[in-house]
């Protein structure tokens, strides 16, 4: 369970699964476990509950998002479309 600088969080896998796979997991999981900014109160208290479910520990807001990050590029383009539709009305 060595968490060296190189393997970081993927140190839990020991010597298994290879460097490439572990590096991908490292990038995704480190990003996932960061505190994300809440869309409701703008504070960095958002944590992942389950795949696609995010919860703010400050204001208690629960919302859906990407499986590993609350804001995916798809979410952004969808939000833009919604905003544009509202403007047209």
Q: Which residues are annotated as a binding site for Zn(2+)?
A: 38, 41, 56, 59
Instruction: State which H helix or E strand residue 32 sits in.
Output: helix 19-32
Instruction: State which H helix or E strand residue 80 sits in.
Output: helix 73-88
Is 7 a residue that touches Zn ion (CB under 5 A)?
A: no
Among 26, 40, 47, 55, binds Zn ion (CB under 5 A): 40
Do 39 and 63 touch, CB atoms closer than 8 A?
yes
Strands of the chain (E only): list them: 46-50, 53-56, 62-64
d(CA 5, CA 25): 15
Of 47 and 58, the one with the shorter C-beta distance to Zn ion is 58
Among 59, 62, 67, 82, binds Zn ion (CB under 5 A): 59
Which residues contribute to the annotated binding site? Answer: 38, 41, 56, 59
Among 7, 38, 48, 54, binds Zn ion (CB under 5 A): 38
- Residues near Zn ion (CB under 5 A) are 38, 40-41, 56, 58-59, 61
């Amino acid at each position: 369970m060595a968490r060296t600088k190189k393997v970081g969080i993927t140190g839990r896998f020991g010597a298994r699964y290879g460097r490439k796979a572990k590096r991908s997991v490292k990038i995704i999981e480190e990003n996932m476990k960061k505190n994300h900014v809440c869309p409701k109160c703008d504070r960095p208290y958002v944590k992942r509950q389950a795949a696609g479910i995010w919860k703010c520990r400050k204001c208690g807001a629960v919302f859906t998002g990407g499986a590993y990050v609350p804001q995916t590029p798809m979410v952004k383009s969808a939000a833009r479309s919604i905003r544009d539709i509202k403007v047209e009305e």
